[in-house]
Amino acid sequence: MTDTVRSGAELETELARAREQQAAVAAVLRTMSAAPTDLDGILDAILRAATRLCDAEQGFCFVLDGEVYRLRSAVGTNSEYIQFTRDHPLPVGDRGKAVPRTALLGRPLHIPDVLKDPEYTFKEAQQRGQFRALLCVPLMKDGVAVAVVAMWRMEPRAFSDEEIGLVTTFADQALIAFENVRLAKETKDALEQQTAVADVLAVIGRATSDVQPVFQTILEHSGRLCDADRATIALLEGDVIVTKAGWNIPPAAMEEYAREPLKVDRTSGSGRAMLEGRTLLWDDMSLDEGISVRMQRTRGITGARSVMAVPLLRDGVAMGAINLRRSEVRPFTPQQVTLVETFAEQGALAIENVRLFNETKEALERQTAVAQVLNVISSRPFDLQAVLDAVIESAMRLCEADNGSIIRLDDLGIPHFLATAGPAEDVERIRTAYGDRQLTQDRSTATGRVLVERRSIQIEDMHADPGYGPKDRISTERAILGVPLKRADAIIGVILLRRKRASTFTPTQVALVETFADQAVVAMENARLFNETKEGLEQQTATSEVLKVISRSALDLQAVFDTVVQNSVRLCTADNASLYVRDGDMYRHIAIAAKSGDETEEAALREAFTTRIAIAPGRESAVGRVLLERRTIQIPDAPIDPEYTARRVGPEQYVSHALIGVPILRESEIIGVLLARRYAPGLFREREVALLETFADQAAIAIENVRLFNETKAALEERTESLAQQTAISDVLSTISRSAFDLETVMTTIVERAVKLVDGEGGVIARRDGDALLVLATTGSTGDTVPGTRVPIDGNTVMGRAARERRRQYIEDVTKHPELPQDGPPTRLIIPFVRDGQVTGTLGASRRARGPFNAREIQLLETFADQAAIAIENVRLYNETKEALGQQTAVSDVLQVISRSAFDLRSVLDAATGNAMRLSEAEVAWMDLVEGGRFRPVAIAGSAEDASALLQRQREVPDGFELAEGSIVGFALTRGAPFEVNDLEMEPAIAAKSGMARLTGSRSVLAVPMMRESRPLGALVVARKTVRAFTPRQVQLVRTFADQAAIAIENVRLFNETKASLERQTAQAAVLRAIAGSPTELKPVLDAIAENAARFTGADDVTVRLAQGDQLAVAAHYGPIPWSPVADTFPIEPTSVAATAFLEQRTVHVADLLGPEGERFPGTRRRSLAMGHRALLATPLVREGKAIGTIVVRKIAPTPFDEKQIKLIETFADQAVIAIENVRLFNETKESLEQQTATASVLKTISESPFDLAKVLASLVETAIRL
């Protein structure tokens, strides 16, 4: 009886203890549900409940932190020992200490008496705490003890199995709390990071021309999210690193940064990161002896200990670095490093965006200036001064110069200012400094250096250049740029730009001035041709005047001779002229004229010369030399000529120095001499010599007037024809002026006028187009040659031969040249246009029955060819300017699309593809993205027919095409560089593997890869249906659009990855909330897992099955697909995917159950045919090494699950196991409580009615039935 009563009391005690334990577990669960992220509060509740229920004096929770276990929470009264434990972390792997030993075991460690345990060696802790019995329980995750719950008793009293089980339960709850807090923190961090990334992208979109707001935003988010004390961004400028922005940096440190920029070396964190091109971390920078003295100084100001340096990279090249610092030794985490690297990519993108924007703006300004100059040339083609003023003013403004000049050098090297710009005092000082000083070809002047080196030169500081001479004459200028004006191979002048500060002109500025120099040369050449035409017209008019006198005064020779000498003086810049006529054996001085027109001077000269003298051939006089050499002679300076001994006659002021004598001939017989004189030494120009010879011819005509009357008439007609030629030339120049950029109109005018004036029967004009000549216009009989005909540049045609050999080709009779085509006219003349050593076109004329061309006609055709070359060059410059402006506008449009639609990838790719096709002069373009070993088109541009064909091809193969190594795209992606096929029909091996190109009938094709950190993302392809190679400029332009597309793709990838990560965290948090909200119910948790698994993996259906004996039964289901055609369970056999995952305890994935991989699972395949799903994924639920169920995910379409989706399903499986375990523990505890209650009830009946057997048995039966 006593034993029975005692057993009842013990049961009452156990029942009370069970109720207390149950209440404690429930209290902890309520704490976790009320504040799931308050880890310290949850651990405190767990430790207090565990120590109280296990009768322990002290409780602890140690958390794994790297290589040690640190105290996170403690309860008890021994505060001194708690502080000792905080100050002495426990190393991982130390078996002499209980906590690391428990972690190594991976299971609870119970030491009834630490003084009797030979492995326990942490005597200092025992002596301070005076504990004896010790219990440690690990919190295991993925095989690692992430924390350890420990408690002790002061006396050597062992913990019971029930107490160890209770602490284990509390440890499981603590593990759930740890996981809840971790997931909540990761979700919060991901949201904050995504917000920060979005903020930076928003600032990038707004700050198109100023990178500073982007830097400041990046630093603020980096410093805050990475818990840094200080942050800076520095950029590479030249060969130094300059700090551009700071966050929380003391003013003293910023002053030090500005005073002493960093060198690009290993003495600074930023320098090392930029040199190595990767992120560098210092746990404690004060221990790094390689850091520079400046860093040592500023470290005291900024308190840098733990440091992170992340380079800003563009195409693998460092542009700068982000630097984060902490004033204590606390290393940065990998997540923080990844975040800052993302900010670094955004910073590099912002720098590139601003650079592109500024370059576009600068290019637009340059193109506008070039266009303005071309407009001046077009509107005022013969106003040279206006063109040169526009050139020098634009060059000075765009190159930030203080003044500038355009000078021309004469034959003696004396500079003549054609145009000058700048302040008036600068202009006057420069002109005075140069004066009439002769410049030599040496390095003492900028002009001299241009002449010596025959290229553009610049001097950064004239005052510091030891070889520069005239710095004392132009003392205020420091920097100077000199650019030659070249016509053919000759330097005819120099453009000079000066600055009053020592500096360097950029390559872009130098190239711009060289473009202006080309325009100035074009203007000077236009003016030269115009002046020559004008002079020719004046000379023709003078000749006509002489002929008119001859015509009106056929017998009045004196009037003719007077007109000849007067025009000789006026048009040949002579001071006086005389005419001698043979009279038997003597020569008679018959006419004289003076430049001044002064009668006194003419009378003195007439008196000085004998009316009739005898002159023998010889070198002592000008007339004698003419008679001796029987040709035109010149004496540059008679007074110093040792052979000239003729008597000096006349007053001293009329003594001649320069003399020219021209014979007057009749059938090779000298019948007179025309003599012109100058008072200054020098030579007469070739044109003046030719004009004097013409006048001599006219004098001969006058002398022989009667006998040569008919010849005189013919000469008059010839001169009239010459006038018509000049008029035709003027018409062409007028057409060029009116239609400077209408090449067809100009070319048609030139070929028609040229053929008419050279008396041709047919004519052709063409311009160079690649390796062929493209006919622009024809006139007369040209056979099969019509506008648009392409003539190869080779030796098979006269046109091709002229272009190939870059010289005139004249065929008098084509029948004597059997290698040439024989059809067409027999006489052919082709003149090539040559500019800078390159042929730009040809002009040709032909005859069939009118005989060969003479020298004059050939020369005339060459004149028209020169004009055609100028017109072609004008149009080329205009088109290049227009094209460059269009390209910059297109690049800017794509950047704007990226800015406005940062995550609308299709808009960006469509814009890049369309602009690439348009500006590269292609007819069709498409963009492919590479995914795995396949590619698929994502953007198409071209005609409606081509676009429809490509879209139909895309629909036929929705999962993309296999990437063939020998295809156009394959070559581009393999080489990582643009790949071009000039004619696809000539490359059958490549064509066979390039289906898209074949489908559109493309001939010339260019593929440019889109790369990201040497990883191919895809390719941009442009194509033409005719054979025409892409120019280097077009290749570079398509490459720019490909780079922009790669940037857009990477932006969207980062955004989608961040978004997907946030969604996964949200899904996991939702499941954890279900676990926390239903700690005793399994169904709501499994329903939440099924629903979230379907939603976040894109699946059509999810089923959770739990093992029931040898069957798998449905525990939760979400989706429209039935779980079984006949029953809720199916046997655990390897014929099904779910059972295989259960048996092998691994995830099993079948992308298509009806494919070859589905043959392994006939049971699942049958159900697939019955229920209509194709793809299936099964993940086991594993608890303590034993499978307890599966999660089965199904798709109707045969598409595989990706790695992230599989990982998410496995995470859901882990959460399901935790929920199942929670419910099991709760049910076991509840069941134990009910059993204890029932036992106590029976014992109570026994104690109350010890002799009433019927009542006791009735109580036993009732309790057994209820349980």
1226: nearest Cα among 1057, 1076, 1080: 1080
By residue count, the chain amounts to 1267
Q: Which residue has the higher pLDDT, 1006 or 1215?
A: 1006
The CATH number of the domain covering residues in 556-704: 3.30.450.40
What are the pLDDT digits (tens) for 614-666?
678 888 888 889 989 999 999 999 888 888 887 655 556 567 889 999 999 88
Q: Which amino acid is at 281?
A: L
Question: Whole-angstrom Cα distance, residue 42 to residue 1076?
Answer: 13
What are the pLDDT digits (tens) for 131-143?
999 999 998 988 8
**Domain covering 723-882: architecture:** 2-Layer Sandwich (3.30)
Structure tokens belonging to residue 129: 């705490």
Asked which of 624-628, 830-834, 1059-1063, 1253-1257 is least confident by mean pLDDT, the reply is: 1059-1063
Asked which of 343-352, 502-511, 892-901 is least confident by mean pLDDT, the reply is: 892-901
Q: Which residue has the higher pLDDT, 549 or 264?
A: 264
Structure tokens belonging to residue 891: 């690049």
Burial (CB count <10 Å: 0-12, 13-18, 19+), residue 1186: exposed
Taking CA atoms, 395 is separated from 278, 282, 372, 883, 1238, in Å, by: 42, 51, 12, 21, 105
* DSSP assignment string, 592-610: EEESS--HHHHHHHHHHS-
User: Residue-wise over 73-105: b if at least 16 C-beta within 10 A, else e?
Assistant: bbbbebeebbeebeeebbebebeebbbbbbbee
Q: Largest Cα–Cα distance of the chain, in whole Å?
A: 188
**How many of the other CB atoms lie within 10 Å of CB of 467?**
12
Q: How confident is the model at residue 1 (pLDDT cuts 50, 70, 90)?
A: very low
- What is the predicted pLDDT for the residue at 4? 46
Question: Is the pLDDT confidence value at 119 over 80?
Answer: yes
CA angle 766, 771, 777 (to 5 degrees): 15
Question: Is the pLDDT confidence value at 512 over 50?
Answer: yes
Residue % of the chain over a pLDDT of 90: 11
The CATH homologous superfamily for domain 35-187 is GAF domain (3.30.450.40)
Question: Is the pLDDT confidence value at 714 over 50?
Answer: no
Average pLDDT, stretch 149-157? 92
Going by DSSP bridges, is the β-strand pair 586-594/576-583 parallel, antiparallel, or unpaired?
antiparallel
- What is the predicted pLDDT for the residue at 608? 60
- What is the predicted pLDDT for the residue at 1195? 92
- What is the predicted pLDDT for the residue at 1024? 93
Question: Is the pLDDT confidence value at 1156 over 60?
Answer: yes
Residues 26 and 8: beta-carbon distance below 8 Å: no
- What is the predicted pLDDT for the residue at 107? 92
What are the pLDDT digits (tens) for 574-597?
888 988 888 877 788 788 888 766
Q: Which of 255-259, 895-899, 1059-1063 has the highest mean pLDDT?
A: 255-259
Asked which of 143-147, 1105-1109, 1215-1219 is least confident by mean pLDDT, the reply is: 1215-1219
Which stretch of DSSP H or E encloses residue 735?
Answer: helix 709-738
Structure tokens belonging to residue 533: 């035409």
Residues 482 and 495: beta-carbon distance below 8 Å: yes
Question: Whole-angstrom Cα distance, residue 1078 to residue 1092?
Answer: 17
What are the pLDDT digits (tens) for 196-249?
566 655 665 565 557 778 778 888 888 888 888 889 988 888 788 888 888 888
Question: Is the pLDDT confidence value at 1150 over 90?
Answer: yes
**Residue 766 backbone class (left: φ over 0; alpha: ψ -120 to 50; beta: rest):** beta
Question: Whole-angstrom Cα distance, residue 663 to residue 20?
Answer: 142
pTM score, two decimals?
0.34
Q: How far is CA 854 from the centre of its chain?
A: 57
**Domain covering 901-1058: architecture:** 2-Layer Sandwich (3.30)
Average pLDDT, stretch 801-822? 86
Structure tokens belonging to residue 809: 């080709």
Q: What are phi and psi for residue 98, nearest 5 degrees?
A: -65, -45
Average pLDDT, stretch 297-326? 79
Structure tokens belonging to residue 700: 């001969």
**Domain covering 1073-1220: architecture:** 2-Layer Sandwich (3.30)
- Mean of pLDDT over the chain: 79
496: nearest Cα among 412, 567, 556, 430: 430
Regarding the domain delimited by 380-532, which CATH topology (the fold level of the hierarchy) does it fall under? Beta-Lactamase (3.30.450)
Residues 673 and 661: beta-carbon distance below 8 Å: yes
Question: Is the pLDDT confidence value at 541 over 50?
Answer: yes
Structure tokens belonging to residue 868: 């055609």
Q: How confident is the model at residue 5 (pLDDT cuts 50, 70, 90)?
A: very low
- What is the predicted pLDDT for the residue at 864? 81
Q: Which residue has the higher pLDDT, 890 or 918?
A: 918
- What is the predicted pLDDT for the residue at 149? 92
Asked which of 916-925, 976-985, 1212-1221 is least confident by mean pLDDT, the reply is: 1212-1221
3-state helix, strand, coil in the chain (%, to 5): 50, 20, 25
Q: How confident is the model at residue 492 (pLDDT cuts 50, 70, 90)?
A: confident
Question: Whole-angstrom Cα distance, residue 1063 to residue 1095?
Answer: 10
Question: Whole-angstrom Cα distance, residue 727 to residue 723?
Answer: 6
CA dihedral defined by 467, 468, 469, 473, rounded to 10 degrees? -160
DSSP letter for 281, please.
Answer: E
Average pLDDT, stretch 846-863? 82
- What is the predicted pLDDT for the residue at 532? 66
Residues 766 and 791: beta-carbon distance below 8 Å: yes
What is the gyration radius of the CA atoms in the chain, in angstroms? 50
1198: nearest Cα among 1150, 1149, 1152, 1137: 1152
Spell out where 142-249 has E strands: 144-153, 230-237, 240-247
Residues 781 and 809: beta-carbon distance below 8 Å: no
Question: Is the pLDDT confidence value at 973 over 80?
Answer: yes
Residues 1139 and 1132: beta-carbon distance below 8 Å: yes
Residue % of the chain over a pLDDT of 70: 75
- What is the predicted pLDDT for the residue at 1007? 92
Q: Which of 420-434, 550-564, 891-905 has the highest mean pLDDT?
A: 420-434
Structure tokens belonging to residue 720: 């009239």
What are the pLDDT digits (tens) for 667-693?
888 989 999 988 888 899 888 898 888
* DSSP assignment string, 1228-1267: HHHHHHHHHHHHHHHHHHHHH-TT-HHHHHHHHHHHHHH-
In the chain, CATH 3.30.450.40 covers: 35-187, 207-360, 380-532, 556-704, 723-882, 901-1058, 1073-1220
Tell me: domain 207-360, CATH 3.30.450.40, correct?
yes
Q: Which of 7-11, 310-314, 1247-1251 has the highest mean pLDDT?
A: 310-314
Question: Whole-angstrom Cα distance, residue 994 to residue 44?
Answer: 69
Question: Whole-angstrom Cα distance, residue 114 to residue 136?
Answer: 12
